[in-house]
Amino acid sequence: MAALKYWLWLTTRKGLGNQGVAQVLERFGAPERAYFADPDEYGLFPPNMAKALSDRSMDSVQRIMGDCDRLGVRIMTRQDADYPSRLRQLEDAPYVLYLKGNLPDFDEEAAIGVVGTRSATEYGKSVAGRLGLELARGGAVVVSGTAAGIDTCAVRGALQGGGTPVCVLGGGIDVPYPKGNRFLYEDVAAAGLLISEYPPGTENLGPHFPVRNRIISGLSLGVVVVEAGEFGSGAVITANLALDQGRDVFAVPGNVDARESRGCNRLIQQGAKPVLGAEDILCEYRSRYPVKLSQKTAFREEEAAQRLQTVEPPAASAKSAAAVQTAQPSAKPCRSAKGLTDDELTLLRALGDKSLQADELVELTQIPARRVQSALTMLQIAGWVEERPGKRFFALAQLIEE
């Protein structure tokens, strides 16, 4: 623990960055020696680094350690035995990581990075969700971010597939990005892992994301790009980092005229393997991970459509909603609300005469996904709610408020 505080001191010196930390360690060998060095020795470094090292205050270190303890966040350094070897091999591997959740043994896992644009099309969202679902069901660990669009859909798909997704963040573990993904953070921390090289309280700033991307690719055997623009795309940057790190690169082909598919189509043109489904990825690693990777990966089309909680294309959504509404009875019996929990009451009010998916109920009620699933289960047992095709829930009775 004593050594840990010096790691935190060194890695949080303003302006040092990963390269600066590497230079300091090359000179002093360990953070403690840098901390207790004669200030004159700092003169060997550029002025901005010397100034940063001259600040030996431990106030921010104590705050970080207190925040991590309060939030249940583990601090890992590159010296720890369970630091992923796959990541440690990188020339610019992070010296300190902040973790919340269950740390997989990455070196024994078939981890696959799934990345793409924030401004995804309905096609891209559907593909990302299905890939996340099938990769998780096939035994792979899905690694992504939490940005809106492709990242979010892939992670939700992995959760639906019963996987343990890993989300690499561009800010502190306690600072959800975007803010609407707060519940997704909670679900990933419970089922998988949140990981960041930034201490709690750090805002998600633009320059952090390209830096973060090297961790997504570094933890993965390969990276699949679902949708991305051709120039300046974070997903394409991640693919290039993967190539530099000796990782495999996959891409989902798209319409040649679609702006969101230009990056993927270009990657395929340059040698990335085109992907039509998770099996196109998993087959590359099954011989290396025969126990981890199941042969049963692909859902039947109708089964996948039912399980996925991604947004359907508007036309399909309208059609399926209309079909469900047609099957609903026009009148429902009335029942007393006595004995129902607050969550159950809120869900029943939200359902009304509609049929909604669990994900839609999360959005409407702002109740965490785990609590929504739990309440829906209890409501089904009590005969209040029925699950219908498409993973949609319908209230069988009307509330009598008391």
Q: What one-character DSSP code corresponds to residue 290?
A: T
| pTM listed for this prediction | 0.74
385-400: average pLDDT: 86
Rounded distance between C-alpha atoms, residue 311 and residue 316, angstroms: 10
Q: Cα separations (Å) of 65 from 13, 204, 290?
A: 16, 20, 40
pLDDT for the residue numbered 370: 78
pLDDT for the residue numbered 332: 74
Is the separation of the CB atoms in 396 and 386 below 8 Å? Answer: yes
Structure tokens belonging to residue 332: 């429902």
pLDDT for the residue numbered 402: 58
Cβ partners under 8 Å of residue 243, min gap 6: 249
Rounded distance between C-alpha atoms, residue 136 and residue 125, angstroms: 17
Is the separation of the CB atoms in 75 and 96 below 8 Å? Answer: yes
- Reduced to 3 states, what is the DSSP secondary structure of residue 135? helix
Is the separation of the CB atoms in 159 and 137 below 8 Å? Answer: no
Cβ partners under 8 Å of residue 390, min gap 6: 305, 306, 320, 324, 357
pLDDT band for 321, please (50, 70, 90 cuts).
very low
Q: What one-character DSSP code corresponds to residue 332?
A: -
Q: What one-character DSSP code corresponds to residue 192?
A: S
Which stretch of 82-91, 103-112, 280-289, 384-393 has the lowest confidence by average pLDDT? 384-393
Is the separation of the CB atoms in 116 and 151 below 8 Å? Answer: yes
Which stretch of 114-118, 258-262, 388-392 has the lowest confidence by average pLDDT? 388-392
Rounded distance between C-alpha atoms, residue 136 and residue 176, angstroms: 23
Burial of 250 (0-12, 13-18, 19+ CB in 10 A): buried
Element (DSSP H or E) covering residue 289:
none
| Average predicted confidence (pLDDT) for the chain | 87
Q: Note if the bond before 313 is cis, omega within 30 degrees.
A: no
pLDDT band for 46, please (50, 70, 90 cuts).
very high
